[in-house]
């Protein structure tokens, strides 16, 4: 029997839908695409960060090893979350416990970084834990659990809108004052889109989107750096010579069709692209792998999103799982879009990592944790088909 094709407009249906028999084909497709991203990270990230360590006491081998260790820890984290039932994660006890931990860490980061310009990382010996990455995971889980309880279908303003909005904003407000404006805007957008898929009334969704604008306005006033980047963008200063975005675009231009070759990027020399292995890694991909390689990376994220969304249509009777899976792949896509757009100068320059590729431990762990949850959802749904 062929699988029934549904539109998201039909998400209120509770009809049990039979999907095509194909074992864990979707699981394998997702694992393959994630594997491509991780492989690319192993190849391109050490190249992008090579000149970052010149002039320091750090060796290239230690940098490469640290990156591999972060990936291995990410795989372990993904395996742990894969072995936890998503049903348990979105249960009230778990999601509210995670929220308390999120708020605790978001508050704790301020006294632990007293006197510092930014309050984003909790120092743990040689490692630094970026709290907003944990909060990102918590919000995705919370909204999915909230939708699973059916609250978004209620007409009651308090339960359908005010409660989820207050919880999301409480976390986001603490992130705004770190300051981390881009992450605040992205997290609010992710929550709004999840609630939209969960059938929250349109006028409430518009309320969430207005909050996104409010976060931007407050962020510009709170952070002088954010204000500088925003005005630099609207005045086109960020694409002028000697700016980060200028060199990022030059790197992509230098790549041509097939690139200069791995390790042969020129714009990462002498810190022309200061965050070549994190915020501007897409520029290095463009220069070393060319338009073909850079475009292929974008296609991988898009394919991952479309494959999962297509699969979600086959279990719309389970709103919690649908919204959780959608929230995860939408997060990958929007982070990729923002990172890529930063290098191309389409948006104000912002510090958002490219999922599974950029150098960094907290984001890597969070992305693998979400991957574990996503693969478990797909596996369970395939087994019940």
Q: Is residue 3 part of a domain?
A: no
The pTM assigned to this predicted structure is: 0.88
The Cα-based distances of 47 to 61, 304, 317, 321 in angstroms read: 12, 25, 46, 38
- Backbone phi, then psi, for 308, in 5-degree steps? -70, -40
| CA–CA dist 107, 119 (Å, integer) | 10
270 within some domain: yes
Phi, psi of 123 (to 5 degrees): -70, 125
Q: Is residue 293 part of a domain?
A: yes
Query: Does residue 64 register a pLDDT over 70?
Result: yes
Q: In this structure, how many other beta carbons lie within 10 angstroms of the beta carbon of residue 323? A: 29
1 within a domain of the structure (yes/no): no
- The pair of structure tokens assigned to 150 is 């059916």
pLDDT in tens, 266-321: 777 655 567 788 888 999 999 999 999 999 999 999 999 999 999 987 776 788 89
Going by pLDDT thresholds of 50, 70 and 90, the confidence category of residue 24 is low
Tell me, yes or no, whether 2 lies in a domain: no
**Structural domain count, the chain:** 1
Q: What's the chain's average pLDDT?
A: 84
Answer for the pair 368, 78: CB distance below 8 angstroms, yes or no: yes
Indicate whether 353 belongs to any domain: yes
Residue 204 has pLDDT above 70, yes or no: yes
Residue 285 lies in a domain: yes
Inside any domain, residue 17: yes
Helices (H) and strands (E) in the chain, counts: 14, 2
166 lies in which domain range? Answer: 8-384
Overall average pLDDT of the 80-109 stretch: 93
DSSP letters along 329-367, please?
Answer: HHHHHHHHHHHHHHHHTSS-----PPTTTSS-HHHHHHH
C-beta atoms surrounding 272 within 10 Å? 20
* Residue 139 near residue 190 (C-beta atoms within 8 A): yes
> Which residue in 25, 33, 127, 27 sits closest to 356, CA to CA?
33
Question: Has residue 96 got a pLDDT over 90?
Answer: yes
What tokens appear for 86 in the block? 């998503």
- Preceding amide of 179 cis, omega within 30: yes
CA distance 172 to 106: 10
Determine the Cα–Cα distance for residues 283 and 297; give it in Å rounded to an integer. 12
């Amino acid at each position: 029997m062929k699988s029934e094709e549904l539109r998201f407009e039909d998400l209120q249906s509770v009809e049990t839908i039979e999907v095509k028999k194909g074992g864990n084909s979707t699981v394998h497709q997702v694992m393959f695409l994630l594997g491509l991203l991780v492989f690319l990270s192993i190849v391109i990230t050490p190249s992008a960060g090579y000149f970052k360590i010149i002039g320091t006491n750090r060796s290239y081998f230690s940098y490469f090893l640290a990156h591999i260790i972060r990936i291995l820890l990410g795989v372990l984290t993904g395996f742990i979350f894969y072995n936890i039932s998503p049903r348990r994660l979105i249960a009230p006890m778990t999601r509210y416990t995670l929220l308390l931990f999120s708020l605790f860490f978001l508050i704790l980061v301020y006294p632990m970084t007293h006197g510092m310009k930014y309050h984003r990382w909790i120092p743990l010996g040689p490692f630094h834990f970026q709290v907003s990455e944990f909060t990102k995971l918590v919000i995705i889980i919370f909204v999915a659990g909230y939708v699973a309880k059916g609250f978004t279908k209620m007409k009651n303003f308090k339960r359908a809108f005010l409660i989820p909005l207050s919880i999301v904003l409480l976390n986001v407000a603490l992130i705004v004052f770190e300051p981390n404006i881009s992450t605040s805007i992205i997290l609010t957008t992710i929550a709004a889109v999840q609630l939209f898929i969960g059938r929250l009334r349109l006028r409430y969704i518009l309320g969430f989107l207005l909050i996104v604008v409010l976060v931007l306005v407050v962020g510009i006033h709170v952070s002088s750096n954010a204000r500088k980047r925003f005005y630099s963008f609207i005045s086109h200063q960020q694409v002028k010579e000697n700016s980060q975005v200028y060199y990022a675009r030059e790197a992509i231009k230098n790549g041509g069709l097939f690139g200069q070759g791995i390790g042969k990027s020129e714009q990462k020399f002498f810190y022309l692209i200061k965050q070549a292995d994190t915020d501007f890694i897409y520029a290095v991909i463009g220069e070393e792998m060319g338009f073909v390689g850079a475009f292929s990376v974008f296609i991988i994220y898009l394919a991952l999103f479309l494959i999962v969304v297509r699969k979600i249509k086959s279990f719309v009777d389970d709103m919690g799982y649908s919204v959780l899976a959608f929230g995860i792949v939408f997060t990958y896509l929007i982070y990729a879009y923002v990172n890529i757009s930063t290098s191309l100068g389409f948006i104000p320059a912002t510090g958002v990592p490219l999922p599974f590729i950029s150098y960094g431990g907290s984001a890597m762990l969070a992305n693998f944790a979400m991957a574990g949850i996503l693969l478990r959802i797909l596996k369970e749904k395939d087994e019940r088909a």
